[in-house]
Structure 1
């Protein structure tokens, strides 16, 4: 169920993904939603309050996307994990492109805003639990070590594709090589 607050935050996330953090202003969100000037400020008094709420909404949307992926896929081998993550990467640079760009923009902003960094750390922990569980299920003997290796590689892979689009983007081979090196066959 959509609410005005949610609509404002979704518009802010779109602006974040399309224009970067400097494009997210109360006035820009009002314009993007077609609401009168001052509407966003009625919900979020300051830019910091708006960005904090954006991170919450952003985390909810990303968690929902991840949960959807986890519901559709349950990899039990390194090869299945590579396939699932390749599909996930395609979604991140395709239908979820704007949300993904928003994630990278907010991550960069978090480097200078400790409160955002703490908030992202907390919300990211939930997704990391899914990922760590997948690593455990496929046979990782050290999922706490392997999870950030694979997750950081995936993050870089997606960022690279967004920055330097390759029409033939196919991350499956590289993901398979990485994951089967970390988790050799059982």
Structure 2
């Protein structure tokens, strides 16, 4: 296997682009090479199999979508409140379209995981670890909620992002900020009540 880490990252990013634009069936070594602008056969020198390419793409998407720790710390500075939760959820829905390609590629990987048990196991592990980390961050910040509230908020925001990034015209009669407000107000208790 080739050992140039910058080239490997570029190839995985190209694989993510292919997933987002052509779907899982379009993810071939040849398609990755073409998207990366490298000679045919290059990606097969970096990845043992197509399954390996799927796995690496999943890991890279997770890395790309994880916000910088300093920005998270800064975002968590205000006093715990439903208003802070609203601010954090707005930040989430603003960040995801910034890497729309990564988000769409992750959706493709999730669909492909229904047919590939090893990919399903890896994605489940990764997504669950991120969920647990976010839940801990939320609880440690003493934000108004309990475990069930966080779970419902997570599922609601996942659905909102799915609609916004796949069928944006479906919810075009309102703004993302208003949708976030509706979700948070409906799910998170008011700390003043």
Taking structure 2 as the reference length, what is the TM-score of the superposition?
Answer: 0.82
Closer, same or farther in 2 for the Cα pair 1:17/1:67, shift >3 Å? farther
Number of residue-to-residue matches in the alignment: 180
> 2: CA distance between counterparts of 1:69 and 1:22?
36
Q: Determine the structure 2 residue equivalent to 1:117.
A: 120
Q: 2:18·2:27 contact (CA, 8 Å) conserved in 1?
A: yes
Q: Does 1:97 align with 2:100?
A: yes
Larger mean Cα displacement after TM superposition, 49-58 or 117-126: 117-126
Structure label with greater radius of gyration: 2
The answer for unaligned runs of 5 or more in structure 1 is none
Q: CA deviation at 1:7?
A: 0.7
Q: CA deviation at 1:134?
A: 4.1
RMSD: 2.2
Q: Does 1:26 align with 2:29?
A: yes
Q: 1:81 aligns with which of 70, 77, 85?
A: 85
Which of 1 and 2 has higher RCO (CA within 8 Å, sep 6+)? 1
Q: 1:30·1:37 contact (CA, 8 Å) conserved in 2?
A: yes
Q: Determine the structure 1 residue equivalent to 2:176.
A: 169
Q: CA deviation at 1:173?
A: 1.8
Q: Determine the structure 2 residue equivalent to 1:10.
A: 13
Q: 1:17·1:98 contact (CA, 8 Å) conserved in 2?
A: yes
> 1: CA distance between counterparts of 2:187 and 2:6?
41
Q: 2:65·2:99 contact (CA, 8 Å) conserved in 1?
A: no
Q: Deviations over 1:154-181 (max 9, x none)?
A: 111011012221383333322321333x
Q: CA deviation at 1:128?
A: 1.6
Q: 2:65·2:96 contact (CA, 8 Å) conserved in 1?
A: no
The answer for unaligned runs of 5 or more in structure 2 is none
Larger mean Cα displacement after TM superposition, 16-25 or 26-35: 16-25
Q: Does 1:51 align with 2:58?
A: no
Q: 1:185 aligns with which of 168, 176, 191?
A: 191
Q: Determine the structure 1 residue equivalent to 2:73.
A: 71
